[in-house]
Structure 1
Amino acid sequence: MKTTYVAVGLTFSLGLILSACQTPQSRQAELAQICANPVNRATGSFYYGECQSLYPSTDRRLQRNYRLGAPTGN
C-alpha cells in the first residue's frame, strides 16, 4: 500500500514539474505579448533586457535614451 502512495506521489510530482516547463516557442509568444506594450520596452523597465532581444533599439532610439538620461549639469 505504501508503495502505491509513493508511486502516485512521484507520478503527480513529475506531472507538475513537466507542466511548469516552457517551450522556446511558448516563451517567445509570451514575451512578444509582454513586449507589445511600449511601457515594457522603455529603458529601466523590468522587461527591458528581454524585450531588446525581440525589439532591438535603433541608433536614434539609443541616442534619445542617452539624452533623456544624461545629467543636466546643474
Structure 2
Amino acid sequence: MQGFIAKDPFSGTANMDKKLSDVMTHLVISNDGNADLTFTAGNFTLTLPAGEIFDERLDPFTSLNVTATGKYHGYCRARA
C-alpha cells in the first residue's frame, strides 16, 4: 500500500476515546477478546466479533472510540 504510513498504535482492555495525531484514512483493529467490541472512526461504526480483524480504508477521520470489555489492539494509517 504505497503512500500510507502506520501511526497512532493503540491497545486496551476497556473503553477508549482517542484523538489521533493526524487525519487518518485506514484503520486496523484486532479483537483479541472473547466478546464483541464496537468502534467508531469518524462517522463509521461497526461491531467487530471476538477473534476478528478489521483492516479497511475509511472516510478521513481524526478520532477513534472503542467500546470493549476484552483485549484489542490496532493502529491507523495516514497519507505519507
TM-score, with structure 1 as normaliser: 0.24
- Please say which structure displays the higher CA radius of gyration: 1
Q: Which has the higher contact order (CA 8 A, sep 6+)?
A: 2
Structure with bigger helix share is 1
